[in-house]
Structure 1
Amino acid sequence: MSDDQSSQPSKRSWLEKLSDTFSAEIRDRDQILQLLQEAHENELLDNSAYHIMQGAIEVSDQHARDIMVPRSQMVVIEPGDAVTAILDKIVESSHSRFPVMNDDNTAVVGILLAKDLLRLARESDFNPERMTARIDEVIRPPVFVPESKRLNRLLRDFRETRNHMAIVVDEYGGVAGLVTIEDVLEEIVGDIEDEHDPLEEEDIQELGDGRYRVSALTEVEDFNDFFRTELSDDEFDTIGGYVTHVFGHLPKRGEAVTIADWHFVVHTADDRRIRLLDVTRSGRRHTAPELTPHLASPEERL
């Protein structure tokens, strides 16, 4: 019997189980995930399709708080910002949507789209003073969602309203962070890279003002050479593995830890590993950095 013929019974067996599952009332998602895993192992689903289907099923278990950009990392339009300052923020951050804060900088009162600012620039003959005077005309009303909002429902709302950003509020109505439709989609399909994301081959990218963006795949030895640190590479080859060990769990985006004189914030991560880290000098040193991490408290992140 040929290899192709010998493999047919197992494939038919899996397809029969799949047919039986969907012909009956489905009560257990774990059963579906198990079948998808078997299909992946039997090479009936490639790696990308498997993870997308897995992500689509598991996304309903996640909430806005799990993937939001924390308030401390939000790039916002502050009271009194002139158009020139706003343009600088757009260029530096490469974002397309920006929360607009109220007069005392405690609440979000609107959302500014970069494309709306371009339209205003043309209508104002590219005069900064005229643009600043008319900025309120192009600020859109914000959409607020609770931290507990499930991602599958949030994605549905994004699609129905054609809105791409929501402000996440805590139980007291305060701003906890923000979430975008791209954030939700990345939980399903994985990271969506665009032309503004740093290239993976640039392991350490200087952002200015003492800030760095570091690939989690950077060798610990290379990290030590660049930052003049002495982190041990006996157990972990990459800085991502080292930082994950210090956390004691796989951290999510926005989680922070201080190691030696350096403060690490998870910039990008998926359900398998850290991808990018934001690194700044903390000014604090621990005598045994790999054993005594400083986890940022909620107050430090606000």
Structure 2
Amino acid sequence: MPDPNPSDPEPRPTRSTGKRLFNRLTAFLRPAPPADRKDIKAVLDAAHDQSVLDGESYAMISGALEVADKTVSDIMVPRSRMDLLDVSRPLAELMPDIIETGHSRFPVYENDRDNILGTLLAKDLLLALSDQQFDVRGLVRPAVFIPATKRLNVLLHEFRSNRNHLAIVIDEHGGICGLVTMEDVLEQIVGDIEDEFDEDAEKTIFRTGDNSWRAMGSTDIEVFNDTFEVSLPDEDHDTLNGWLAEELGHIPRRGERLEREGLLLTVVSADSKCARWLHIQRQPQQTHDDAA
């Protein structure tokens, strides 16, 4: 006779209980998604270490993340290194500076370097090449001013939306402290964008012809001597600027020249503090017949 009260077998887990167990197992096997940028960076580092990402891709993604953490002050060209154009000078006088520096855009000032009127695009000058007396003022575009504290990701968005490529950086007191370009921001993501006018961070002397060069005023005298096999004195001065100032008896001015050891040095760009660029020309060596 069957037992009227058979013992119930062990109850089966309900479907909801099984789902919870599955979710817990899945969570255990699958790591949690990154919670912040630090976690994302850790994932990128691991992917790079395991060769999932190549070096270039890793650098670009990392750079894109870091842009949001950097401000304009981290990458701007400082005021002392800005190449400016004086709107009061005729175009014929400005052209050597424009050609020598090789920039595509220049801040333009009037009377004082802090009085920025706007920006001049070198390509706009093509319209005026036939008229050397053309007034540069008519080509000046409005300047864009931004604070040094602006974040780079915000600036990049503004550059793109406003179709602008250069901004003047101002400090908390409203003074000019530098400039920044779209290229400067993009280089934080993709690395250095080099063109034929870019300057090596370690290089200050650039060949422009068979017997001509351009050199920064900040060039170390030792480097200058090694490059040209000359012996300018370096006991009292470290740079060309210091040596030039002593030789001339004043701060070098644009157009001034010095000849030393077969080299003709011409100041092609200068400000109130120093010479910025010099043109170096190796003079042809005179033979006895030439000298006679």
Tell me the TM-score normalised to structure 2 length. 0.62
| Matched ranges for 1:68-87 at <5 A | 68-87=76-95
1:203, distance to aligned residue in structure 2 (A): 8.7
The residue identity in structure 1 corresponding to 2:132 is P
In the other structure, the counterpart of 1:262 is 238
2:119 matched to 1:111?
A: yes
Q: Note the aligned Cα RMSD (angstroms).
A: 3.5
2:82 matched to 1:66?
A: no
In the other structure, the counterpart of 2:132 is 128
1:84, distance to aligned residue in structure 2 (A): 1.3
- Distance, in Å, in 2 between the alignment partners of 1:108 and 1:70 is 15
In the other structure, the counterpart of 2:285 is none
- Could you list the runs of 4 or more consecutive aligned residues of structure 1 that deviate by over 6 angstroms after TM superposition? 199-203
Q: Secondary structure at the match of 1:128?
A: coil
The residue identity in structure 2 corresponding to 1:165 is L
Structure 1 residues 69 and 79: alpha-carbon distance in aligned structure 2, compared to 1, 3 A threshold: same
- Distance, in Å, in 2 between the alignment partners of 1:171 and 1:80 is 29
In the other structure, the counterpart of 2:163 is 162
- 8 A contact 1:207–1:213 mirrored in 2: no
In the other structure, the counterpart of 1:144 is 145
- 8 A contact 1:204–1:213 mirrored in 2: no
1:209, distance to aligned residue in structure 2 (A): 6.7
Structure 1 residues 281 and 183: alpha-carbon distance in aligned structure 2, compared to 1, 3 A threshold: same
In the other structure, the counterpart of 2:178 is 177
- Distance, in Å, in 2 between the alignment partners of 1:227 and 1:198 is 19
| Matched ranges for 1:44-59 at <5 A | 44-59=52-67
| Matched ranges for 1:187-266 at <5 A | 187-198=188-199, 205=206, 207-208=214-215, 210-212=217-219, 225-226=226-227, 261-262=237-238
The total of aligned residue pairs comes to 208
- 8 A contact 2:205–2:214 mirrored in 1: no
Residue among 91, 96, 99 paired with 1:91: 99
Unaligned runs of 5+ in 2: 1-28, 207-212, 230-234, 244-272, 275-292
In the other structure, the counterpart of 2:26 is none
The residue identity in structure 1 corresponding to 2:238 is W
Rg comparison, structure with higher value: 2
Q: Secondary structure at the match of 2:127?
A: helix
C-alpha distance after superposition, 1:215-249 (max 9, x if no partner): xxxxx9x8995599xxxxxxxxxxxxxxxxxxxxx
The residue identity in structure 2 corresponding to 1:51 is A
Aligned-pair identity (%): 43
- 8 A contact 2:48–2:54 mirrored in 1: yes
Q: Secondary structure at the match of 2:107?
A: strand
The residue identity in structure 2 corresponding to 1:28 is D
C-alpha distance after superposition, 1:155-213 (max 9, x if no partner): 00000000000000011111101000000011111111102235799895452475549
- 8 A contact 2:87–2:109 mirrored in 1: yes
Q: Which structure is higher in helix share?
A: 1
Structure 1 residues 192 and 171: alpha-carbon distance in aligned structure 2, compared to 1, 3 A threshold: same
In the other structure, the counterpart of 2:8 is none
- Distance, in Å, in 1 between the alignment partners of 2:69 and 2:200 is 31
- Distance, in Å, in 1 between the alignment partners of 2:126 and 2:185 is 27
1:34, distance to aligned residue in structure 2 (A): 0.5
In the other structure, the counterpart of 1:31 is 39
